[in-house]
Structure 1
Amino acid sequence: MAGQIYKKMAFSLTYQKSIIPVSNEITDIVLSYVKQKTNGRPLEMAVDVGCGTGRYTLPLAPHFKKVLGLDISESQISVAKHVALANNVSYMVAAAENLPLKDASVDLVHAGLATHWFTIDTFVKEAVRVLKMGGCFATHAFVPIFELEYKHLSHDLNGVMKEVWDIFAKHLNNSVNEMFCQYQNVYEAIPLKDKEHITDILLKSPVFLPDVIGFLEIFYMYQDFKEKDAKKAEQFLKQTEERLREILGEEADSACMNMYMKHYCVLAYKQ
């Protein structure tokens, strides 16, 4: 099963270290939507489903009295608890398809970079069940492909990246396909009338070469490649780094590149 990789502690630690930083732009979209729909009323409870190591759980903390992070992976929850910095945040091991919450008890059901791993119809029904009247649902992720920009070298850098994506494409599964479709199926599964689907949000992140290689390493497609042929996968990643380093030349260790990725959000309001 694809999601099994997230249950390994070694991977969870690597994931926490190498995943791209939280997108403030996406967080702002979610929080602005919640504030608009709730007319500024006090917000009691948010649940972050598929919270992983808590990357998006903590940014919710200042806006709610309590935030609960849920994930099926004990190792991800363990790492999340270790890095937790907010007194009003707690974590629990639980499945997205069986939320351990009472009916109409939550102001926000949130899932960042996670919903593609869930049984979508079941998760959406659970989310609607636990939402209060006047509560919000928000899920978001990014298309699992990126482009690099650096001075006059962008074309050559992305020539290497195209070959990476061609190899990764051999290891796609249905979960990753949901990401490429920008959660269209998630949007359609939501039974609420008041909903929005925001696509093609192109965001830029500053990255150095180790960031790029570390990010590629935690892609599920690479992990699947590695599981099937560890030696070949590791050699491929090493060669990719060497080729990017050769293009960057003397600036390889100091070059701050721009990484562009498409993000998207699905938002809904329970009236």
Structure 2
Amino acid sequence: MAAQQFKKTAFSPVYQKYMIPVSNEIMNLVLSYVKDKTNGRPLEMAVDVGCGTGRYTLPLAPHFKNVLGTDFSDSQINVAKQYSSAKNVSYMVAPAEKLPLRTASVDLVTAALAAHWFKLDEFSGEAVRVLKTKGCLALHGGYPATELEYKDLSHDLNVVMLEVWNTLFQYNAKKIEHMLCQYKTIYQAIPLQDKEWIKDIPVKTEMSISEIIGLIQSVVMFQTFKEKDMKKAEQFLIQTENRFREILGEEADSVRLTAYFKHYCVLACKH
């Protein structure tokens, strides 16, 4: 099972360091939605389900009295605790389908880059159970592809990047379906009437070649590839980096490429 990669101690620091940066656009979207739906009431509790290393947990801290990050992986939670810098944030090992919270006690249940791993019916039931009236559910993900831009070399760079994703897709096709449709299937499965599906949210960041190679390693599909054939996976990384370097030439070590990511979000409110 690909999700078991998250339990591996060696993977969690790679995920923390190289996974795509936290999207301020997504955070602002979620927080605006919550504040609108809760009519400005004090926000007591948020839970970040499948929180991983806490990358999307900590940004919630200034907006809620208490924040809890949960994940099924001890390894991810241990790294999250190492990077925790907010006194009102805590972490706990717990599956998404069994939240350690009282009924009607939570203002926001959120999951960032994680909902496609859950047993959706069970998780949805738990989310609805723990939410207060006017509490919100926010699930967001990123489209599994990256477009690169740099001078007149963008086309050649993107040919390589497309080949990377097409190779990785072979190692987790089932879960990728939720991501390729931008969580449309998850939106349809959420058992709340007041809900929104927002797709094609553009997010861009600057990345070096080494950071792009790191990003590839931080993807679960690559870790599955590596588990099946370590030598082939390592050769794939080396070949990919060499192809980028050939395209960029002497600038390869100093250049900052513009990387475009496509995010999407499912928002819902309990009445």
Q: Shorter chain as normaliser: what TM range?
A: over 0.9
1:182 aligned residue? 182
Q: CA deviation at 1:186?
A: 1.2
Residue 220 of structure 1 and its aligned partner are, at CA, apart by: 1.8
Question: 2:152 is paired with a residue of what secondary structure?
Answer: helix
**Structure 1 residue 189: Cα displacement:** 1.2
Matches within 5 A, 1:1-271: 1-271=1-271
CA contact (8 A) 2:106 2:130 kept: yes
Match of 2:10, SS?
helix
Please tell me the residue identity of whatever aligns with 1:165: W
What per-residue deviation string (whole Å, max 9, x for no partner) do you get for residues 31-73 of structure 1?
0000111111100000000000000100000000000000000
d(CA) in 1 for partners of 2:236 and 2:48? 35
TM-score, structure 2 length as denominator?
0.98
Range with bigger deviation, 21-30 or 174-183: 174-183
TM-score, normalisation: structure 1: 0.98
> 1:208-232 CA distances to partner (integer Å, 9 max, x unpaired)?
1111000011212211111111001
Aligned identity (percent) is 64
The separation in 2 between residues aligned to 1:236 and 1:229, in whole angstroms, is 11
Q: How far off its partner does 1:165 sit?
A: 2.1
- Aligned length in residues: 271
- Give how far 1:176 is off: 2.1
Return the alpha-carbon distance in structure 1 between the equivalents of residues 233 and 146 of structure 2.
20
Q: CA deviation at 1:173?
A: 2.8
Q: 1 CA distance for matches of 2:163 and 2:99?
A: 40
What whole-Å deviation, never above 9, does each CA across 1:60-98 have from its counterpart, x for those lacking one? Answer: 000000000000000000000010000000000000001
Cα distance in structure 2, aligned partners of 1:163 and 1:173: 16
Between the aligned partners of 2:51 and 2:168, the Cα distance in structure 1 is 25
Q: State how far apart, in whole Å, the 2-side matches of 1:198 and 1:104 are.
A: 26
SS at match of 2:87: coil
**Structure 1: distance between partners of 2:161 and 2:114:** 24
Structure 1: any 5+ residue segments left out of the alignment? none
Aligned-partner SS, 1:199: strand
Structure 2: runs of 5+ lacking an equivalent: none
Q: CA deviation at 1:161?
A: 1.3
**AA matched with 2:140:** H
Moved more, 76-85 or 186-195: 186-195
Runs of 4+ in 1 over 6 A off after TM superposition: none
Q: Equivalents in 2 of 1:166, 1:173: separation in Å?
A: 11
Query: Which range is displaced more, 193-202 or 158-167?
Result: 158-167
